């Protein structure tokens, strides 16, 4: 069966007798495009919409390319890479980091009590004594109107003792030379327009995981366009055929929006998990259109009683529809959430069946199917390039109810907030475990001084993650069954964590790897073994990634301050973002001067396994004169005596100075306002201007909503005075 490139559509239902015919018969003299052309034009208009959104990201893309001098743009965020040679690492460490602690530490880590010694040089130059309690008398900040007058170099130097003044000048100069340009997001720029804030508010106010008004508008526009094109200048069998063509023509685009490595995501600067919402909506409407097509023909055949047996002989048409229906039904949230495996398998079986059967059903559909196979092929080739078969180390963390996974072989190539997909090659996780890929956010940063690899924290949530935990906690495998391993090693790690990586790098040693297995050589004293990690079970896995990450080429280090909120296992995002921000300041390639990390957990004991990492971050900040970092852990369950005892026996008899424990859930309206109004705005006193506040969120829907409400409640003048407030949201479910 073939269709003409242009033909005349009948206005009466006199067309072909089956869904296989692609055009109507001529009954009027007006020449109008055929159904395929109509559908293709609709597809083309969707591409224009994508191009429009891609163009909006260009300013940030250019800023990012400029900052990273072109080729470095591709160093992080695309491919995970193995460790560099020891010599190259040592060279990098010396070249990059200005704020390296001295090789022989003159100070112990700064703790609240006990080991506390003198603070780092003007580390706490920002006076927070009035945090959130009123405008300090000394504050020269005008929060109502455009920020404060930047302090002159002489004024800023005058604040410090003579021996530190040169450092002030040096730091200021280097910072302004190496810091990335801050380009406000489109939403920040458009915020002052009437109704602009409405777009970011939830469409269903009581639905925590629902779409925003902006997304709802996109859904409605697409649906309206779909309906108009389906019925425009046609009727009867004409629009039955048109609806079929609308499904065929949009297949490449819907697959592109759902694939892990798609050109659409690349041009939009967004990971697949950020564009997936539209893939789902398109898929649903396409399924409805295919249903309309099939039911319409069935009714037609029954009414006319023509070729009654025809429906039975359209095997290929039924096969194509069955494939589509399989995807449509098993993608419903009820199946997707209760059995991800069913959802996943129904997807690939369904689309393969559809893509093949549709070519037999409509001859011209071959080109669209081939285009779809091309997109799928490209995706799988990229996945192959992004996959590493390697040995990982598992450690059970009972206090956290999670498994820590370390991939020692892969040490660079990702950005904070990106995730990898794991496939386990062991029967311990099930007979077909290798066929399941689970996504987990990377909690470490790329190219650290101590050469640490990809670190993941996997919360025991369901079947696969529980089995993984059990495998890690197997007795006799060196896991931290009692929750003590990390803790016992904690003192040693605090003292040596910071200096060890540097010494190793300087000596060109690094945590040596057994090249064949990609594991740390037994004799190597690495940061990992000191903190009690990496001594657990090993497992063969395929690590695929990285995926996701900052949206629209946004550079986190171009913001003056970052307010990061993590709920439960969302701390993986928080850890990597905070460490990357600190790393960029150390490299003098950042505008960041203030980082606030808020972690909301049920049990405060979750903190214990992460204390070495968090303390290490806090220590690094203490060497940076112009950076301030605070961590507040909010907990909802009563503190257990065991936890209190552990905290009391920490060096110094308590938590490190920058780590605070707060009972109950935070009130984000006041927390966000406090952070933006008092803390960030006060930075204007001694800086070269403010370049915005980044609010990063990773956690359950309800938590994200309360943070968004807190941001939404901020006064417009206040937003302007700090250079805009932007939200970055990561989610663990879709």
Give residues in contact with ligand FAD (CB under 6 A): 273, 336-337, 340, 419, 436-441, 457-459, 461-465, 548, 569, 572, 732-733
On whether the CB atoms of residues 178 and 587 are closer than 8 A, the answer is: yes
Which string of DSSP letters, residue by residue, matches 54-101?
HHHTHHHHHHHHHHTTTGGGGTSSS--EEPPPHHHHHHHHHHH-SSPP
Nearer to ligand FAD, 99 or 732 (CB): 732
Choose between 283 and 710: whose C-beta lies nearer to ligand FAD: 283
Pairing between β-strand 725-730 and β-strand 693-698 as defined by DSSP bridges: parallel
Helix axes 490-506 and 86-96, enclosed angle (nearest 10): 100
Q: How far is the CB of 443 from ligand FAD (least distance, A)?
A: 7
Q: Angle at the Cα of 237 (from 236 to 239), degrees rounded to 5?
A: 75
Instruction: Round to whole Å and give the CA distance between 357 and 353.
Output: 6
Minimum CB distance to ligand FAD smaller for 465 or for 630: 465
Closer residue to ligand FAD in complex, CB, 409/419: 419
CB of 337 to ligand FAD, least distance (A): 4
Q: 3-class DSSP state for residue 371?
A: helix
**Which one, 399 or 673, has the nearer CB to ligand FAD?**
399
- Shortest separation between residue 487's beta carbon and ligand FAD, angstroms: 22
Q: Which is nearer to ligand FAD, 439 or 700 (CB)?
A: 439
Residue 281 tokens, joined: 């909506």
- Residue closer to ligand FAD, measured from CB, 545 or 692: 545
Nearest distance from residue 441's CB to ligand FAD, in Å? 4
| CA-based nearest residue to 358, from 345, 372, 340, 338 | 372
Rounded to whole angstroms, the Cα distance separating 693 from 698 reads 16
Closer CB to ligand FAD, 439 or 625, in the complex? 439
Q: How far is the CB of 166 from ligand FAD (least distance, A)?
A: 43
Q: Rounded CA gap, 342 and 332, in Å? A: 11
| CB-closest chain residue to ligand FAD | 462
Minimum distance from CB of 454 to ligand FAD (Å)?
11
Distance CA(430)–CA(322), nearest Å, equals 30
Minimum distance between the CB of residue 591 and ligand FAD, rounded to whole angstroms?
A: 27
Residue 436: how many CA atoms within 13 Å on its side-chain side?
18
Shortest Å, Cβ 484 to ligand FAD: 22
We find the least distance from the C-beta atom of residue 560 to ligand FAD, in angstroms, to be 27
Q: Which of 179, 112, 205, 139 is nearest to 679 (CA)?
A: 139
Q: What's the token pair of residue 473?
A: 């906690």
> What stretches of 3-57 show up as alpha helix (H) in DSSP?
35-56
Looking at the Cβ atoms of 325 and 429, the one nearer to ligand FAD is 429
Q: How far is the CB of 401 from ligand FAD (least distance, A)?
A: 10
Strands 81-82 and 32-33: unpaired
- 247 vs 437 by CB, closer to ligand FAD: 437
User: Could you give the C-alpha distances from 570 to 546, 695, 698, 712, in angstroms and in order?
Assistant: 17, 14, 5, 22
Residue 670 phi/psi, 5-degree rounding, is -80, -35
């Amino acid at each position: 069966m073939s269709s003409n490139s242009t033909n005349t559509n009948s206005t009466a239902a006199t067309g072909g007798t089956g869904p296989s015919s692609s055009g109507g018969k001529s009954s009027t003299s007006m020449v109008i495009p055929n159904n395929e052309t109509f559908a293709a034009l609709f597809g083309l208009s969707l591409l224009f919409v994508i191009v429009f959104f891609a163009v909006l990201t260009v300013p940030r893309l250019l800023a990012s390319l400029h900052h990273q001098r072109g080729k470095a743009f591709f160093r992080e965020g695309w491919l995970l890479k193995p460790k560099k040679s020891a010599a190259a690492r040592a060279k990098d460490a010396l070249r990059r980091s200005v704020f390296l602690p001295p090789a022989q530490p003159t100070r112990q880590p700064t703790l609240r009590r006990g080991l506390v010694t003198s603070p780092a040089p003007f580390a706490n130059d920002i006076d927070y004594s009035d945090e959130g309690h009123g405008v300090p008398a000394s504050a020269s900040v005008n929060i109502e109107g455009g920020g404060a007058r930047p302090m002159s170099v002489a004024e800023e130097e005058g604040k410090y003792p003579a021996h530190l003044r040169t450092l002030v000048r040096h730091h200021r100069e280097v910072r302004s030379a190496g810091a990335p340009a801050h380009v406000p997001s489109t939403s920040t720029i458009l915020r002052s327009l009437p109704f602009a804030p409405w777009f970011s508010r939830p469409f269903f106010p009581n639905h925590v995981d629902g779409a925003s008004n902006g997304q709802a508008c996109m859904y409605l526009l697409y649906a309206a366009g779909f309906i108009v094109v389906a019925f425009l200048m046609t009727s009867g069998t004409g629009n039955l055929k048109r609806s079929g063509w609308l499904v065929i023509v949009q297949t490449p685009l819907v697959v592109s929006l759902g694939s892990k490595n798609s050109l659409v995501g690349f041009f939009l600067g967004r990971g697949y998990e950020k564009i997936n919402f539209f893939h789902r909506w398109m898929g649903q409407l396409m399924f409805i259109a295919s249903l309309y097509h099939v039911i319409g023909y069935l009714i037609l055949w029954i009414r006319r009683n023509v070729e009654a047996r025809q429906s039975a002989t359209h095997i290929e048409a039924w096969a194509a529809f069955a494939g589509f229906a399989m995807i449509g039904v098993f993608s419903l949230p009820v199946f997707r959430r209760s059995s991800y495996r069913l959802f996943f398998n129904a997807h690939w079986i369904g689309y393969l069946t559809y893509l093949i059967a549709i070519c037999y059903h409509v001859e011209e559909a071959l080109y669209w199917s081939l285009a779809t196979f091309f997109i799928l092929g490209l995706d799988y080739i990229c996945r192959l390039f992004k996959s590493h078969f390697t040995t990982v180390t598992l450690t059970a963390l009972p206090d956290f109810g999670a498994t820590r996974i370390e991939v020692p072989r892969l040490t660079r190539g990702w950005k904070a907030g990106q995730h990898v997909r794991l496939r386990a090659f062991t029967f311990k996780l099930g007979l077909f475990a290798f066929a399941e890929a689970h996504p987990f956010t990377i909690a470490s940063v790329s190219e650290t001084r101590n050469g640490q690899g990809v670190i993941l924290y996997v919360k025991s949530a369901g079947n696969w993650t529980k089995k993984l935990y059990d495998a890690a906690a197997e007795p006799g495998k060196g896991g931290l069954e009692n929750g003590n391993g990390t803790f016992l090693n904690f003192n040693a790690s605090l003292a040596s964590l910071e200096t060890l990586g540097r010494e190793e790098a300087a000596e060109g040693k690094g945590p040596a790897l057994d090249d064949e297995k990609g594991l740390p050589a037994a004799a190597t004293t690495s940061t990992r073994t000191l903190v009690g990690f990496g001594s657990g079970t090993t497992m063969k896995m395929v690590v695929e990634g990285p995926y996701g990450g900052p949206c629209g080429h946004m550079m986190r280090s171009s913001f003056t301050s970052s307010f990061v909120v993590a709920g439960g296992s969302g701390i993986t995002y928080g850890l990597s973002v905070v460490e990357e921000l600190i790393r960029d300041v150390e490299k003098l390639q950042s505008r960041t001067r203030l980082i606030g990390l808020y972690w909301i957990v049920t049990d405060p004991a979750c903190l214990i396994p992460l204390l070495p990492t968090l303390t290490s971050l806090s220590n690094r900040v203490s060497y940076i004169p112009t950076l301030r970092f605070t961590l507040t852990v909010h907990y909802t369950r009563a503190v257990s005596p065991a936890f209190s005892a552990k905290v009391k026996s920490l060096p110094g008899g308590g938590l490190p100075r920058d780590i605070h424990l707060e009972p109950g859930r935070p009130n984000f309206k006041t927390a966000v306002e406090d952070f933006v109004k008092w803390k960030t705005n006060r930075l204007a006193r001694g800086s070269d201007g403010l370049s915005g506040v980044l609010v990063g969120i990773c956690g359950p829907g309800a938590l994200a909503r309360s943070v968004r409400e807190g941001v939404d409640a901020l006064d417009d003048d206040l937003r302007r005075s700090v250079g805009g407030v932007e939200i970055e949201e990561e989610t663990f479910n879709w």
